[in-house]
A and B are shown apart, each in its own frame.
Chain A
Amino acid sequence: MNTQNTYDEIGKRYRTGARIRSGITYALLTVWAVIVLFPFYWMILTSVKSYGTYNAEYVPKLWTPSPTLQNYRDAFTTVDLGRYFFNTIIFTVVTTVLMLFVIVLAAFAFSRLQFKGRDLLFTVFLSLMMIPNELVIITNFVTITDWGMRNSYWGLILPSVTSVFYIYLLKENFEQIPEELYKAAKVDGTSDLKYLWKVMIPICQPTIVTITILKVIECWNSYVWPRLITDDAAYYLVSNGIQEIRENGFGRENIPAMMAAVVVISIPLIVLFLLFHKKIMAGVSRGGTKGI
């Protein structure tokens, strides 16, 4: 009886300890969640405050009684936000499609075809992954300028259509498909291209979708290259557009309109994320890195 009591006592103490610990854990996680979400709340809140209300608040308020959509109207009419949007969509779609074409063909050659120097060439490809973008961007800037492609879609797109890392990722995936399937297709007289299109791409669809999503995120957020290659506002992407708006768009003080533009720019990716968050997170943890 006595020992039973002691056991209960220990068990109770353990459970109380665990409960306190999990309480602290939840509290800390909630604190960080608030830090993550607060900027998003603040931009939405500011974007629905009217210009007058915002500037009258010496002490910023956490709530506004009279939300307005006027800032969104301003964001699309005072500056050319629609144009920046359109440019970014063109840039993102064309870059992603071209890149998929290039990397699928290269990954297929590396994973299925036999040729002299294959392993050596692949090693060279892998070593290219070490080259930082900052090193090559100088010459690319000069190249694109020499080709007369500044302020054009092609100038924006061409340097971003290959990714050694995605070739590597796809090649690894292609190699998991049993070689027998390829041989069987060869016996049946299926051409390589048809085999690639009808068998390999469907089997590797999850990887291809992941790569597509990661590339879309990268394109949507790209800032440095577009900034170098465009100084004509007609070819600005959203990132450059937002910087332009900040520096001489609405007049520096119209913060609510600026925030409306920020909300509009952030929405597409957040929607994409909410739809595909499992896929995106799985893809990133498999080896995506930001900015590489």
Chain B
Amino acid sequence: MSAQNGNAAGGDGKRAVSTRTEVRRHAVLSQIKPWLYLLPALIFLGIFMVYPLFDVLIYSVEEGYNSASQTYFGIGGYNYAYVLRDPFFLQALKNTFILVIITVPVSTGIALLISLGLHSIGRLKELFQTIFFLPYVTNTLAVGLVFMILFKKTPYSDGFMNLLITAVGGTAVDFIDGPYWAKMFVMCFYTVWVVLPFKILILTSALASVDENLYKAARVDGTSSFRIFTRITLPMISPMIFYLIITGFIGAFKAYSDEVAIFGTDLNAAGMNTIVGYVYDMLYGDSGGYPSYAAAAALILFAIVLTITCINLLISRKNVHYT
């Protein structure tokens, strides 16, 4: 702007020209400036998100890649074939699917029950809400260790859970180092414990946002409370339930650190590995150094999650009520 003022003393023609260059310069500047603001984000996203996305595809088709010499034999689908035949991967796939199939419905169901309970009470509501949210802010590795101790049976002690089990007449089981289903139970139980706070919170706020007049109208008509639930509450909060089911699926497929917390870092030895755990084991650690296998496994996981999310979306289009 100051350049323009300085030119005011000059001739008319000269002034017009300089104003034009000024305007053009300003236009160029206003096109450049936004990119300066975006530059940090673009650099970080470019290096740590966009480039890796293409790179992981390349890794997954490079056969016999050696991370020490950075050489490979050829291009092809061998890595995928290897991963799909690897018994550790198949075990991880099985564990992950069982975990998903059990924890997603169970956690969503319990969260719905608890939120309905929270919604119906007056006193102590906030206290309960705060307590229920507590697991969200805790370090899952640290609390997982507590779960391990509660469920573990050692030569010195049966542990707290087995105390309860024997008290009701059962026999003590080692949940951490024992039979497969006992281990799976702890894994599912801990996962539900960890994911519930988020679900309860979302469903409680969804329930609070349902228009009170709908309930009043139904009560005037003498509708039974079961019918109110199935015909008003459920349809009104169905988008949120659906959101939780989708994110629940995605989250459960990516399970890993909760398992480490309970069974330790050598998940293959415990027979409790997950797909993500398999990816990291291939990348790093005692069995690591195979980024190609890791990339292939990660892409298989991505394909599974994408497929299931698409199926979920198709189902939701029929059953979810959007206002």
Beta-carbon nearest neighbor of A128 in chain B: B49
Decide if B102 is an interface residue (CB 8 Å cutoff): no
Decide if A123 is an interface residue (CB 8 Å cutoff): no
Decide if A270 is an interface residue (CB 8 Å cutoff): yes
Report the 10 A-B pairs with minimum CB-CB distance, sorted nearest first.
A139-B52, A136-B52, A109-B37, A106-B41, A113-B34, A115-B34, A162-B44, A139-B55, A273-B137, A262-B142
Residues of B at under 8 Å CB distance from A?
1, 30-31, 33-35, 37-38, 40-41, 44-45, 47-53, 55-56, 59, 67, 110, 113-114, 117-118, 120-121, 124, 128-143, 145-147, 149-150, 156-160, 163, 193-195, 198, 201-202, 205, 247, 250-251, 254, 256-257, 260-261, 264-265, 276, 279-280, 283-284, 291, 294-295, 298-299, 301-302, 305
Decide if A158 is an interface residue (CB 8 Å cutoff): yes
User: CA–CA, A132 to B139, complex, Å?
Assistant: 21
Decide if A20 is an interface residue (CB 8 Å cutoff): no
Q: Please name all residues of chain A whose beta carbon is closer than 8 Å to the beta carbon of B53 when the two chains form the complex.
A: 131, 135-136
Q: Please name all residues of chain B whose beta carbon is closer than 8 Å to the beta carbon of A265 when the two chains form the complex.
A: 139, 142
Decide if A59 is an interface residue (CB 8 Å cutoff): yes
The one of A36, A134, A223 that contacts B131, using a Cβ cutoff of 8 Å: A36
Q: Is the interface of B mostly helix, strand, loop or mixed?
A: helix
User: CA–CA, A147 to B193, complex, Å?
Assistant: 39
Name 23 A/B residue pairs within 8 A (Cβ), A-sorted. A21-B120, A22-B121, A33-B131, A36-B131, A105-B37, A105-B38, A105-B41, A106-B38, A108-B37, A114-B34, A128-B50, A132-B301, A143-B52, A161-B44, A224-B256, A224-B257, A239-B139, A239-B142, A259-B145, A265-B139, A281-B129, A289-B198, A290-B136
Beta-carbon nearest neighbor of B198 in chain A: A290
Decide if A96 is an interface residue (CB 8 Å cutoff): no
Q: Is the CB of A109 within 8 A of B52?
A: no
Decide if A234 is an interface residue (CB 8 Å cutoff): no
User: CA–CA, A93 to B53, complex, Å?
Assistant: 28
Q: Please name all residues of chain B whose beta carbon is closer than 8 Å to the beta carbon of A255 when the two chains form the complex.
A: 149
Q: Please name all residues of chain B whose beta carbon is closer than 8 Å to the beta carbon of A281 when the two chains form the complex.
A: 129-130, 133, 201
Return B167 CB to nearest CB of chain A, in Å. Answer: 10
Q: Is the CB of A138 within 8 A of B291?
A: yes
Return B281 CB to nearest CB of chain A, in Å. Answer: 11
Q: Please name all residues of chain A whose beta carbon is closer than 8 Å to the beta carbon of B295 when the two chains form the complex.
A: 138
Q: Is the CB of A266 within 8 A of B133?
A: no
- Of the stretches A5-13, A39-47, A70-78, A204-212, the one at the interface is A39-47
The one of B142, B193, B279 that contacts A35, using a Cβ cutoff of 8 Å: B193
Q: Is the CB of A113 within 8 A of B37?
A: yes
The one of B251, B264, B284 that contacts A290, using a Cβ cutoff of 8 Å: B251
Q: Please name all residues of chain B whose beta carbon is closer than 8 Å to the beta carbon of A116 when the two chains form the complex.
A: 31
User: CA–CA, A161 to B321, complex, Å?
Assistant: 38
Decide if A29 is an interface residue (CB 8 Å cutoff): yes
User: CA–CA, A135 to B299, complex, Å?
Assistant: 7
User: CA–CA, A273 to B136, complex, Å?
Assistant: 10
Q: Please name all residues of chain B whose beta carbon is closer than 8 Å to the beta carbon of A55 when the two chains form the complex.
A: 156-157
The one of A33, A59, A125 that contacts B128, using a Cβ cutoff of 8 Å: A33
User: CA–CA, A146 to B136, complex, Å?
Assistant: 35
Return B32 CB to nearest CB of chain A, in Å. Answer: 9
The one of A29, A103, A217, A291 that contacts B137, using a Cβ cutoff of 8 Å: A217
Return A128 CB to nearest CB of chain B, in Å. Answer: 6
Decide if A90 is an interface residue (CB 8 Å cutoff): no
Q: Give the residue among A37, A40, A58, A262 with the most B Cβ atoms within 10 A.
A: A262
Return A182 CB to nearest CB of chain B, in Å. Answer: 14
List 10 additional A-B contacts (Cβ < 8 Å) besides A137-B52, A138-B52, A239-B141.
Answer: A57-B157, A106-B40, A138-B59, A223-B141, A227-B265, A228-B280, A246-B145, A259-B145, A269-B138, A277-B130
User: CA–CA, A40 to B202, complex, Å?
Assistant: 24
Q: Is the CB of A266 within 8 A of B138?
A: yes
Decide if A272 is an interface residue (CB 8 Å cutoff): yes
Q: Please name all residues of chain B whose beta carbon is closer than 8 Å to the beta carbon of A143 when the two chains form the complex.
A: 47-48, 52
